Amino acid sequence: MKWDNILSACRKYECFPSVERLFSACPILIRNYLTLSSFPAGQLLIEAGSPCGTVYILVSGRLQAIEEKAGEVPYSFFDIVPFDIVGDYELFSEDTESFVTVQAREPSVCLTIPARFYLQWISADSAALFFRTRLLMKKLSLQLNSSRRYLLMSYEERCTYVICQEAGKVSPVDGIFRLKLNREFLATKTGCSLRTIHRLLKEMEHKDMLALSGGKILLTSTQLENMMNGLDPYS
């Protein structure tokens, strides 16, 4: 796919100015190795412990980074949103294996480039390297602050926090937020066991904080607002 075609395809995305800025001085030879790829939800992009030969630049959708072997279930420690870049941490730190597993959380679109060409280009392009460094520092700062707040939460508060996050990504139907959140996902996000998640959801339903129906979590606007108000100290 030619660079002009890639740019044209990226114009519809909010991160288009960042795409232009990052690649403004990228040599044509390197641009020729760029591709625009679509990934369905659940698609594995990077596997922890394996060599990663590709750098992914997310332009649409959402990815999920998962740390393996962090308890009874894998522990998802951050979501990846546009215009995040994955696959280059290891290049900068000169590690030969990927730190985390990365998969598509929802249908996503990424710019992809072979890792060796990415490193060759960005190590010689000071403007692109500075831009990437700023993105990286911002991401790390957000993750650190989020982790500190998250550590202060009980499991119920973590569960509430995740539910509020997911509810913010859907539109209510007839005043009801319907969330397709299975217990494995919640256990992954909160770092606790499936048994604990099952107990927490039952307790929250008993407190009239939510309703459980057919594997879905149902929330009214009032219930969601009450949950969010309860999390104010952590926002």
Sort strands 75-80 and 35-39 into parallel, antiparallel or unpaired: unpaired
As a whole number of angstroms, the distance between CA 185 and CA 201 comes to: 13
**Three-state secondary structure readout of the chain:** CCHHHHHHHHCCCCCHHHHHHHCCCCCHHHHCCCEEEEECCCCEEECCCCCCCEEEEEEECCEEEEECCCCCCCEEEEEECCCCEECCHHHHHCCCCCCCEEEECCCEEEEEEEHHHHHHHHCCCHHHHHHHHHHHHHHHHHHHHHHHHHHCCCHHHHHHHHHHHHHCCCCCECCEEEECCCHHHHHHHHCCCHHHHHHHHHHHHHCCCCEEECCEEEEEHHHHHHHHHHCHHHC
Tell whether the model's pLDDT for residue 8 goes beyond 80: yes
Tell whether the model's pLDDT for residue 4 goes beyond 80: yes
Give the amino acid at 96. Answer: T
In this predicted model, which residue has the larger pLDDT, 66 or 83?
A: 83
pTM, full prediction: 0.70
For residue 72, the model assigns a pLDDT of 43
- Categorize the per-residue pLDDT at 233 as very low, low, confident or very high, splitting at 50, 70 and 90: low
How do residues 37-67 score in pLDDT, each as one tens digit? 999 988 999 998 898 899 999 999 999 887 6
Q: How far is CA 103 from the centre of its chain?
A: 9
In the chain the domains, ranked by start, together with CATH numbers, are 1-151 (2.60.120.10), 153-231 (1.10.10.10)
For residue 73, the model assigns a pLDDT of 44
How do residues 109-150 score in pLDDT, each as one tens digit? 999 999 999 999 999 999 999 999 999 898 888 777 777 777
As a whole number of angstroms, the distance between CA 87 and CA 82 comes to: 14
- Categorize the per-residue pLDDT at 70 as very low, low, confident or very high, splitting at 50, 70 and 90: very low
Decide if 190 contacts 162 (C-beta within 8 A). Answer: yes
Decide if 212 contacts 198 (C-beta within 8 A). Answer: no
